[in-house]
Amino acid sequence: MNLTLEQIQDFKGKYPKQIWSLFFSEMWERFCFYGMRGMLVFFMISQLKFDDEQANLQYGATQAFVYAFTFVGGLFADKILGFRKSLFWGGLLMIVGSLILATNPHDYFFLGISFTVVGTGFFKPNISTMVGKLYKSGDSRTDAGFSLFYAGINLGALLGGYLCIAIGKGEMLSGLIPEHKRWNVAFGLAAIVMVISLVNFIFTQRQLGPIGLQPQRLNADGTFSALAKWNEYSVYILSLIFVPLIMIMVSVPQYTDYFMWTVGPLTLIYLFYEMTKVTSSERNKLWAALVFIIFSIVFWGIYEQSGGSLSIFAANNLNKDLLGLDPNGVNNSGGAFFIIFLAPIVGLLWIWLSKRKLEPNTLIKFGLGFIFLGLGYYVLFATKFFATLQGITSLNIFTIALLVITFGELCLSPIGLSIMTKLSTEKLQGMMMGMWFLASAYGQYVAGQIGAGMAKVKTGANNYDALITYTDGYKQLGLYALIAGVVLILISPLVKKLMQEVR
Ligand code: GLN
């Protein structure tokens, strides 16, 4: 049965049934992605014998490139491939990348990583855009759908982030896997789950009706025809050419700086060019989308301390007063754990509020995102009041901070995906979603600089002084988050005007 778009979007109940197919494909893709990401630094230090600083810089570079590539993936999806083919091509590249790492991670490490970077760029933004397509514009259930989808993201992140490194380090299945094969198996697992993601997509994509099919060419007589095949093949070839380029760029950390300084302005110039081709009402919506994108850089810049300074803080300054759990384990996976439970509940809360005409609009949700983020960082600051003279403080309080920050994430991140699909014009959906993720690349970049700044201040300090330096830094970040929230509320009348009927 071939469903039409109307049939899909006229669904009864809370969620369209197609969302489950996208949920599972994205869940397995995130398993692969976070599984690999979780192994990078440890593998580089223990196996490739990089020093800490080099490993961290190289890790930062891969993260920047991964999220920057979403712009390219989104753009090509809009213009040539369509969302489905992009997703499929991205998934294939991710499988190739993980297979290379599974076969010989020591010699072909950066080659495998570069395939994964390009693959993620094609996969990640476009699956998110398809979620938005399941909803008619103005459907008040959209944010709940994205929240559910976000739970899938984090379920994959949690499982992959935990299992891959545990296998690699030999903490799991060590009786079954000979020691010299552990890393191969760990990377191999990432490849297997990515195959599951694609197989799931292949078998369920029929339910998507016309969603995500290739764009067509408009002929002079008003009819449409298929794009010439060479367009598609050129994208495939071009993306393969990117692989060695990324290998070079990632290997010299300084190149990441140049890249970050040029790619943002270039994408903005391109967006401004596209803006000249749309109606003024559409242009205003794109401006509003840009405001959300820019605010999200501030959000991720603060939020992403979790991978940097917070992991050092967790290692040196936290006790195990929460069920004896390892503080770094809690820091790495606590957020994802909370999201899996909270995201569907918060989604249902949006639906419940909307039925009573009380649902906050996107601006207020974003504002709340910053306020929770700020409060969370104040709780991190407050850990200092529970510290011993040795500079050790409570993991319980730290976990409360994580919970508060997670509420912030739920008000901003899935809502950001949702608003991108609502504010973009039909032909720029992929690219705008790519820009949303590109902002994450900048967020990671900023987060790295902030973390490095804090690390510099504490160099040579004893553990207690280091705790004071970090917690004071978190207070500062908390304040910045609150200021961002207030600024957003202050400019909200203007942004509301730009958004027009979109809520
Ligand atoms: N954790 C989310 C994901 O993996 C958000 C990532 C981001 O936008 N920085 O999709």
User: Going by CATH, does the domain composed of 17-251 fall within 2.30.40.10?
Assistant: no
Q: What digits encode the pLDDT tens for the residues 356-366?
A: 989 889 999 99
Determine if ligand 1 sits within 6 Å of the CB of residue 296. no
For 190-253, the three-class secondary structure string (H helix, E strand, C coil) is HHHHHHHHHHHHHHHHHHHCCCCCCCEEECCCCCEEECCHHHHHHHHHHHHHHHHHHHHHHHCH
Q: How many angstroms separate the alpha carbon of residue 191 from the centre of ligand 1?
A: 20
pLDDT tens-place string over residues 328-376 = 888 888 999 999 999 999 999 999 999 998 988 999 999 999 999 999 9
Cα separation, 368 vs 299, in Å, equals 12
444 CA → ligand 1 middle, Å:
11
Q: What span, in angstroms and rounded, lies between the C-alpha atoms of 344 and 14? A: 11
The 3-state secondary structure of 250-277 reads: HHCHHHHHHHHHHHHHHHHHHHHHHHCC
**C-alpha 280 – ligand 1 centre gap (Å):** 31
Upper half-sphere CA count for residue 407 (Cβ side, 13 Å): 15
- Is the separation of the CB atoms in 413 and 143 below 8 Å? no
CA 150–ligand 1 middle distance (angstroms): 9
Going by C-alpha positions, the residue among 132, 33, 25 that lies closest to residue 74 is 132
Ligand 1 center–CA 105 separation, angstroms: 26
Long-range residue pairs from 15-20, CB within 8 A, at least 24 positions apart, any chain: 15/141, 15/144, 15/145, 15/148, 16/134, 16/135, 16/145, 17/207, 18/134, 18/204, 18/207, 18/208, 18/211, 19/131, 19/134, 19/145, 19/148, 19/149
Any atom of ligand 1 within 6 Å of the Cβ of 153 = yes
Does the Cβ of 437 fall within 6 Å of ligand 1?
yes
Choose between 407 and 60: higher pLDDT.
Answer: 407
197 alpha-carbon distance from chain centroid? 17
- The C-alpha atoms of residue 204 and residue 179 are separated, in whole angstroms, by 38
Nearest to 368 by CA among 407, 341, 403, 342: 407
Q: Is 155 in the pocket of ligand 1 (CB under 6 A)?
A: no
Nearest CA to ligand 1 atom 3: 153
Q: Per residue in 249-284, pLDDT tens?
A: 888 878 888 989 999 999 999 999 999 999 999 999
**pLDDT tens track for 396-447:** 999 999 999 999 999 999 999 999 999 999 999 999 999 999 999 999 888 8
Ligand 1, atom nearest to 34 Cα? 4
Tokens found for residue 187: 């990377």
The answer on pLDDT for 226 being more than 80 is: yes
Structure tokens at 321: 């007063």
Choice from 32, 126, 440 to test ligand 1 binding pocket (greatest atom count within 8 A of CB): 440
Residue nearest to atom 10 of ligand 1 (CA): 153
Per domain, the residue ranges of the chain are 17-251
Q: Say whether pLDDT at 1 is over 70.
A: no
Residue 300, ligand 1, Cβ within 6 A? yes
CB of 413 shorter than 6 A to ligand 1: yes
Cβ neighbour number for residue 222 with a 10 Å cutoff: 6
Cβ of 372 closer than 6 Å to ligand 1, yes or no, is: no
Token output for 186: 């760990």
Global pTM?
Answer: 0.93
